């Protein structure tokens, strides 16, 4: 209830601080029978792992995942899955200089106001490293989504002024996203974005950007009509990632500027007895419920607040002070955040799929009738 | 769990359909001792009530609120507060023509996919009328927020291409918002926006727009660090309003285009022993926790999907069909949605304030020490 | 979160006070497609309705249920089902004499300590009338349980010293339970129990008793292993009924006195490829999960605290005082509580059945594979 | 949602299996500023630790607790507290003989029915070792309860036919409980109970018993009126401990046999401006809310189902079979369960105290007024 638990049927609970012993995640309500090994999680962790390119922090963490529970003979058992990621590269001394200062753009001041004191070393609980635990959970969810024919794919759409030449409806090459420096599936733009980040970094500044996540294969009818609309849950999930300041679904802010006749997506027969849409301005969600088209989510990340230049601030006694944030920081969090957005969308969508199983009495009756027949 | 319950300590549960008997709301966890009468709720309901201007639907509903429980001698008792709003102006015959058709931009198709059948009359559960129940709950929350020195004020920032000349940090005249046709606290822009909506309506089309909500007086330290960040909860709350397609906090999407040195808000001593900020790009929330500056939320509404012109669609047998949506609809939902955004922000912020009371052991000990002293 | 919401996937929220306008219940997460009319609810309400016999209160309430939402064409739609029960026979004047006194055995003192004031008329929120809302919800759940082949049957096992001659494993005649004065499916004991209650009542005293509920047809595998064990959820559900002071599963307290070799239930092949047990000391639940045998729950009710004789108490100024509770009270709540226990068991079991649908990845994959095939 | 999360404001989530890598617990919502070190947890863990006496299993586990997160400079930070307990003495080979058999009295069959397969080694998730994680959480909660003047004390009231000579209202010597073999604060009875367990064990059988927990210092007004009654929450908490088959509050089942005039507890002035009661049949809870008297909970434990004698059962193919359970088991779980009951009561009561802080608007206003004054 203090906010480190997410989900309805599937409950994800993360713990850990950037300069404590470890990060970790407990996933309660994960179904039995899904393959889970460290090797299956590894590729997702690697996409978020620091120290792999010139545009990320020089803090190097292996981010090895130890699976503590919930797995037997390589498959989930239905018991809570706990995964642990030890911190190995803390350098707390980096933070001595700022223990009594509030870093602009950071949660330091809010933490002190809320809790009376804080772990001043590297952001503590609000560190971006917390998202490693989310990625481990997301990777597991993606194993099951795959069994259900659902795919989540995120990529970098822009960094500062550099925009990738890719439309939300385009199929995205996941390998290209994973191998690029910035997460852009557009090699030319990736080069320019990388250069832009390096330039910001060189002058002690930082950059923001935009991540898009597309969910394909989701059947129509997933999500709930009122407070737990699929888009509302996705908005919480994505806005809960540290630096996100805006979330859009489908055309998002553009929709507000168009008229109804422009913005409506016409329904069409899909030629196989089903329904499709001529356009997808809605981003796959109408009235909070999926419509069978790809779900499209855009997350806007602010620039990293840790910048090298001198800034005005106050100290913990609320006196005026100057600060220049040293330490190892990403000059732009976007490249490493791509897989975090993907993970949060995967967790949210899987949870909605599980909740949806009890929407109709006839299907529940069929489910239990089959179960009795098989016992 | 099917998504009609919102909140953590304060749980809001709405019910009702546009062509059923009534809408209503149950508020569990609302503290004892807050004044509540129908008269206190009335002004909020009136701001959302249809049929009051040329830019809203001609469906006329009194939206009288009956308080069913949780109040004794004009004050809340700590028991669940239930409030009921009877439907009085249903015209279900309007919908006969479309009972077998899926309206583009509406949830009809998703509802059928999810539940196997639906109440085809006027949107059923996904009707905008559901928000009347939210406004009743929001009005109650605002009574208590006022006792705590916190104010939520929403207004219309733009409709289609017409933008009000008001900045998020400007103090907003609530009376002006309430008396204007479109919710804009800028009479000249209000006139132009009204004309724009009328023009869209005249040609059988509809408009979207943007609502801003500002929360002032919120102390620093409110909100939780991870999944239940204050901005993440606000994002869910606001995105759960029917036509919202994007949510921004503070500078929102603009933040992604700036550098860290531009986007950071410098902290300053406030001259009274406290802390303030030179700018408020962050919109009052850092790392999910309030920083003492005004909280600023922007909600982007798509244009009303019910338009009079003929559109392509499919019928419930998934065959191609044509549809022209008749019935009584708002040509733009934004004017009436202003108080809905305000309500959802009020509910979310009050809930966060209640949860925050148990953040610190020393304050808990003080609380119970005082309580024992007084008994 | 203030405790008027129960359930996980199926969330039941009651509201109302004994001398307010009404009681009601909102059921969120109830599946679509289940028949619901006032007529289907009526027989359950009648079993709890006061004023029907010499052993219940003379307060006469029709307990007519108005279905406010969630139903279309006589079937649930998947939207929240709200049901309203108006109070019609309040006699608040009965309570003027005790507005400043705390009734022994009642929650009056606790309410004042908690909320600072209370609706002193007839118990307010802690009135037994609140259970009318639970029965309405339970009746709806029983419609769906029936579709799934699961039956909940409660009856009175004892009142004061009078014990019905029926064993938990005996099939119980529901009609006999409903038509008896005390809820005992044993006409001779029913007569004696009725006489015992009348005798207590005549001398201004009151009686307690025991209700047993048996759930048959529940497949093995329902419930969760740790905190949400099926028996743990049932214990909360049943203990949450006003006067219940003890809950037993299966042999309950007797189990603690036996040895393992006596208490273990041997498993046996059932002759049809399934599994049965030689005995059912466990009451159908092992390790929190159903084992396919009938689930057996025993609820022990204290005697009604409202007695006519003079008692020592304190007033709201905490001064010594005398009290003799007048008003209309049941001399024994057990007869009317039978259907309440049944309802709470039905709600709990149905919720567990819904949650259980997402226990296994293979079944989830089958479910969605079927759904895609049918679309 | 799969049942390994407990609590409302304070959410306890356990993970782990008896023959996996580890057990652990994550406590979300625990307030900042409470002392936490492994040394503070140690004495509680030792009370549950196996291998310390002739009446417990010979499996020897150090049960060393590693604090993974949520603590800085020896105090909680408000972030989730994760604690890890490695398994060190697994002997999975003990279970090879029974991998295809369902042990009577165990959850094996239910697990297979639910999840399709199970970790057959030592009970997996339903192992009594899971309660080690609960004890770690309970120990932390007791640190804060102590700051609030609230004490939870559990002890063994009976084992098989041997009953300790102690009344619920008697002050209990915690050291005596901790140092006794069986948890009885009555040395003579402790000797007899120990002899009884040894005798059961010698003939390959097992014993059950009763644990009482008393909560003192709890102010009146804690708990909620309807589904989350304090006793209802306690009932779930205690019934969720593996072998518990009955829970009583106060006089429990005895209450059902008395009349109202016998069972009511008269209120009296306490001589210091407060209120007390002449008796405490109610066990400190009326209408689900604490009344200021000690809260008294009784938990009835079944005998250990693992017995050495041959029993009838079925195998995983549902064929008749014989089983004699070897391995290392407690012949009676009660001695080690005492601290588990105490922990579950502590967690439940602390959660209720936190939730209660938002019960009254005036106290909330005072709280925030103080907070603004201090900033």
Compute the distance between CA of residue A123 and CA of residue A111 in angstroms, rounded to an integer. Answer: 10
Crossing angle for the helix pair A230-239 and B230-239, to the nearest 10 degrees:
160
Highest averaged pLDDT of the listed ranges C246-255, D57-66, D173-182 = C246-255
Query: How close does chain D come to B224, measured CA to CA in Å?
Result: 9
**Would you put residue B57 in left (φ > 0), alpha (ψ -120 to 50) or beta?**
beta
CB distance C303–D260 less than 8 Å?
yes
Weakest mean pLDDT among B256-270, D112-126, D333-347 = D112-126
Tell if the CB–CB gap between B21 and C78 is shorter than 8 Å.
no
For the cut 90, the answer to whether the pLDDT of residue C2 exceeds it is no
Strands of chain D, DSSP E: 5-6, 11-16, 22-28, 65-69, 71-72, 75-76, 81-86, 151-159, 162-163, 209-216, 244-249, 267-269, 275-277, 285-286, 289-290, 295-301, 311-314, 320-323
Task: Report CB contact under 8 Å: D360, B34.
Answer: no
Q: Which pLDDT belongs to residue D52?
A: 63
Closest Cβ opposite residue D32 in set A16, A77, A115: A115
Tokens coding C48: 């709890």
Please give, rounded to a whole number of angstroms, the shortest distance from the CA of A93 to a CA of chain B.
Answer: 23
The pLDDT > 90 percentage for chain A reads: 82
CATH assignment at residue A201: 3.60.150.10
Residues of C within an 8 Å Cβ radius of A:
9, 29, 31-34, 76, 78-79, 144, 147-149, 219-220, 225, 273-274, 353-355, 357-368, 370-372, 375
Give the closest-approach CA distance of B78 to chain D in angstroms: 6
Mean pLDDT across chain D? 93
Helix (H, G, I), strand (E, B) or coil at B93: helix
Q: What is the pLDDT of residue B375?
A: 53
Given an 8 Å threshold on Cβ–Cβ distance, is C302 in contact with D255? Answer: yes
Residue of C nearest to D230 (CA): C240
Is A31 within 8 Å of C364 when comparing Cβ atoms?
Answer: yes
> Both tokens of residue B261?
């040195």
pLDDT over threshold 80, residue A122: no
Q: Do B305 and A264 lie within an 8 Å CB cutoff?
A: yes
Say what the pLDDT of residue D250 is: 98
Which residues on chain A place their C-beta less than 8 Å from a C-beta of chain C? 9, 29, 31-34, 76, 78-79, 144, 147-149, 219-220, 225, 273-274, 353-355, 357-368, 370-372, 375
B-chain CB neighbours of C32 within 8 Å are 114-117
DSSP reduced 3-state for A189: helix
> In the predicted model, is pLDDT for residue A116 greater than 70?
yes
Residues D112-117 have a mean pLDDT of 91
pLDDT value of position B59: 66
Confidence of residue C125 (pLDDT cuts 50, 70, 90): confident
Contact A77 D116 (CB under 8 A): no
Tens-place pLDDT, residues A184-223? 999 999 999 999 999 999 999 999 999 999 999 999 999 9
Rounded Cα distance between D127 and D115, Å, is: 16
Other CB atoms within 10 Å distance of the CB of residue A362: 13
Smallest CA–CA separation between C73 and chain D, in Å? 32
Alpha carbon distance A86, C304 (integer Å): 58
Across the interface, which of D8, D102, D235 has its CB nearest the CB of C267? D102
> Is there a contact between D117 and A33 if contact means CB atoms under 8 Å apart?
yes
What region, left, alpha or beta, does residue C271 occupy, with left being phi > 0 and alpha being psi -120 to 50 degrees? Answer: left
pLDDT tens-digit map of A244-266: 999 999 999 999 999 999 999 99
How far apart, in whole angstroms, are the C-alpha atoms of residue D176 and residue D181? 10
For residue A68, the chain D residue with the least C-alpha distance is D21
Q: What does the pLDDT look like over C287-314, one tens digit per residue?
A: 999 999 999 999 999 999 999 889 999 9
Pairing of strands A151-159, A22-28: unpaired
Beta bridge partners of A26: A13, A82
Alpha-carbon gap, residue C121 to C112, rounded angstroms: 13
The whole-number average pLDDT for the span A304-327 is 92
Band (pLDDT 50/70/90 cuts) for residue D96 is confident
8 Å CB contact of D66 and A21: yes
> Band of the pLDDT at C214, cuts 50, 70, 90?
very high
What separation, in Å, do the N-terminal and C-terminal C-alpha atoms of chain A show? 39
Q: How do residues C26-60 score in pLDDT, each as one tens digit?
A: 999 999 999 999 999 999 999 988 666 677 776 67
Of A126, A204, A312, the CB nearest to B287: A126
Helix D130-147 and helix B361-374: axis angle, to 10°? 60
Mutate which: D226, D241, D262, vs C, most C CBs within 10 A: D226
- Cβ(D18)–Cβ(D124) below 8 Å: yes
Residues of D with CB under 8 A from a CB of B: 9, 29, 31-34, 76, 78-79, 144, 147-149, 219-220, 225, 273-274, 353-355, 357-368, 370-372, 375
* Backbone CA torsion sign across D179, D185, D191, D193: negative
Q: Is the pLDDT of residue C375 over 70?
A: no
Q: Which residues of C touch D355 (CB under 8 A)?
A: 1-2
* pLDDT > 60? residue D25: yes
Interface A–D counts its CB contacts (< 8 A) at 179
Ranges of chain B whose pLDDT falls below 70: 1-2, 50-54, 57-59, 91-92, 94, 374-375
Distance CA C10, CA A161 (A): 48
Question: Least CB-CB distance to C358: which of A219, A354, A362?
Answer: A354
Between C95 and B160, name the one with better pLDDT.
B160
Q: Which of B8, B21, B114 sits opposite C78 (nearest CB)?
A: B114
Nearest CB neighbour to C267, from listed D221, D245, D314: D314
DSSP letter (8 states) at residue A255: G
Give the distance from residue B318's alpha carbon to the nearest chain C alpha carbon, in angstroms.
Answer: 10
Q: Do B287 and A110 touch (CB under 8 A)?
A: yes
Q: Check: CB of residue B113 under 8 Å from CB of residue C375.
A: yes
Containing domain of residue C105, as a range?
5-374
Q: How close, in Å, is residue B42 to chain A by CA atoms?
A: 23
Coil vs helix vs strand at B210: strand
SS3 C197: helix
Predicted confidence band at D330 (pLDDT cuts at 50, 70, 90)?
confident
b/e string for C281-316 if b means 16 or more Cβ within 10 A?
A: bbbbbbbbbbbbbbbbbbbbbbbbbbbbeebbbbbb
Task: Specify the number of domains making up chain B.
Answer: 1
Do residue B117 and residue C32 have CB atoms under 8 angstroms apart?
yes
Q: What is the pLDDT of residue D41?
A: 96
**Contact yes or no for C361 and A144 at CB 8 A:** yes
Q: Which of D22, D72, D80 sits opposite A15 (nearest CB)?
A: D80
Distance CA D358, CA C245 (A): 27
Q: Closest-CA residue in chain D for C272?
A: D318
Q: Over 60: is that where the pLDDT of A140 sits?
A: yes
Percentage of chain D lying above the pLDDT 90 cut: 82
Give the DSSP letter string of C39-84: HHHHHHHHHH-SSSSTTS-S-----PEEEEESEETTEE-SSPEEEE
How much is the pLDDT for B2? 67
Query: Per DSSP, what are the bridge partners of residue D297?
Result: D213, D249
Inter-chain CB proximity C260 and D207 less than 8 Å: yes
Q: Which of D78, C23, D356, A239 is nearest to B9 (CA)?
A: D356
Chain mean pLDDT for chain B: 93
Tell me how far the alpha carbon of residue D75 is from its chain's centroid.
25
Between A8, A69, A75, which is nearest D16 by CB?
A: A69
User: Counting Cβ atoms within 10 Å, is residue D146 exposed (0-12), middle (13-18) or buried (19+)?
Assistant: middle
Task: Kindly identify which residue of chain A lies nearest to residue D66, measuring between CA atoms.
Answer: A21
Q: What is the pTM of this model?
A: 0.97
Mark yes or no for CB contact A14/D80 under 8 Å. Answer: yes
Chains in touch with B (3+ beta-carbon pairs under 8 Å) read A, C, D
* Cβ atoms of residues D25 and D134 within 8 Å: yes
Strands (E) across A133-271 are located at 151-159, 162-163, 209-216, 244-249, 267-269
D372 vs B contacts (CB less than 8 Å): 149, 219
Q: pLDDT category, A40, cuts 50, 70, 90?
A: very high
**pLDDT over 90 (residue C169):** no
Q: Do D361 and B147 touch (CB under 8 A)?
A: yes
Label residues A172-193 b or e (16+ Cβ within 10 Å = b): bebebbbebbbbbbbeebbebb
Integer Cα distance of C123 and A319 in angstroms? 55
A26 contacts in chain C (CB < 8 Å): none
What is each CA distance from B40 to B35, B44, B45, B140, B361, in whole angstroms?
8, 8, 10, 8, 36
Mutate to test the interface with D, among B357, B372, B374 (most CBs of D within 10 A): B357
| The two three-digit tokens of residue D260, written as one number | 């109202």
Contact call for D77 and A115, based on CB within 8 A: yes
Burial class (CB in 10 A: 0-12, 13-18, 19+), D322: exposed
pLDDT over 90 (residue C101): yes
**Residue of A76, A146, A361, A371 to mutate for C, most C C-beta atoms under 10 A:** A361
Find the helix or strand (DSSP H, E) in which C268 lies. Answer: strand C267-269
* Chain D interface disruption, residue of C198, C302, C327, C352, most D CBs within 10 A: C302
- Name the β-bridge partners of B187: none
Closest C-alpha to A301, from B255, B227, B290:
B255
Phi/psi for A16 (5° steps) reads 115, 160
Tokens of B55: 């830019």
Q: What tokens appear for B36 in the block?
A: 């509540």
Q: Which residues does residue B322 pair with via DSSP β-bridges, in sequence order?
A: B312
Residues of B in contact with C22 (CB under 8 A): 68-69, 82
Other residues' Cβ atoms within 10 Å of the Cβ of residue B60 = 14
Q: Are A295 and A168 in contact (CB under 8 A)?
A: no
Tens digit of pLDDT for each residue in B132-184?
999 999 999 999 999 999 999 999 999 999 999 998 778 899 999 999 999 99
Strand, helix or coil for residue B215: strand
Start-end of H helices in A79-229: 108-115, 130-147, 174-179, 187-202
CB count in 10 Å sphere of residue C175: 9
CA nearest to C259, candidates D58, D190, D202, D326: D202
Cβ atoms < 10 Å from Cβ of C74: 11
Interface test with chain A among C353, C361, C370, C371, by most A beta carbons within 10 Å: C361
Distance from CA of A110 to the nearest CA of B (A): 5
What are the φ/ψ torsions at residue B200 (nearest 5 degrees)? -60, -45
What is residue C91's three-state secondary structure?
A: coil
């Amino acid at each position: 209830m203090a906010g480190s638990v997410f989900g309805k049927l599937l409950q994800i609970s993360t713990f850990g601080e950037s300069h404590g012993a470890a990060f970790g995640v407990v996933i309660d309500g994960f179904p039995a029978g899904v393959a889970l090994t460290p090797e299956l999680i590894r590729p997702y962790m690697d996409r978020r792992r620091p120290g792999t390119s010139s545009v990320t922090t020089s803090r190097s963490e292996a981010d090895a995942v130890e699976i503590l529970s919930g797995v037997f003979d390589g498959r989930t058992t239905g018991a809570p899955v706990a995964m642990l990621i030890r911190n190995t590269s803390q350098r707390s001394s980096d933070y001595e200089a700022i223990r009594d200062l509030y870093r602009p753009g950071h949660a330091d001041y809010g933490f002190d106001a809320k809790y009376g004191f804080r772990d001043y070393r590297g952001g503590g609980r609000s560190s971006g490293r917390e998202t490693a635990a989310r990625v481990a959970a997301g990777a597991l969810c993606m194993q099951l989504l795959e069994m259900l024919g659902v795919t989540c794919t995120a990529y970098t759409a822009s960094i500062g002024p550099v925009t990738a030449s890719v439309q939300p409806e385009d199929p995205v090459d996941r390998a290209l996203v994973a191998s690029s420096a910035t997460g852009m599936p557009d090699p030319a733009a990736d080069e320019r974005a990388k250069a832009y980040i390096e330039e910001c970094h060189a002058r002690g500044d930082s950059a923001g950007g935009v991540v898009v996540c597309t969910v394909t294969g989701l059947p129509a009818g997933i999500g709930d009509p009122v407070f737990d609309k699929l888009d509302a849950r996705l908005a919480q999930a994505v806005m809960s990632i540290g630096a996100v300041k805006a979330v859009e679904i489908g055309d998002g802010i553009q929709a507000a500027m168009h008229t109804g006749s422009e913005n409506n997506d016409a329904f069409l027969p899909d030629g196989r007895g089903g329904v499709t849409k001529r356009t997808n301005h809605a981003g796959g969600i109408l009235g909070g419920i999926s419509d069978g088209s790809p779900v499209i989510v855009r997350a806007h990340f602010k620039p990293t607040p840790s910048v090298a230049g001198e800034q005005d601030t106050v100290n913990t006694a609320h006196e005026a002070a100057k600060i220049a944030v040293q330490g190892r920081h990403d000059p732009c969090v976007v490249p490493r955040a791509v897989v975090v957005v993907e993970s949060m969308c995967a967790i949210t969508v899987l949870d909605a799929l599980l909740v949806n199983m009890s929407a109709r009495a006839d299907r529940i009756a069929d489910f239990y009738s089959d179960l009795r027949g098989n016992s």
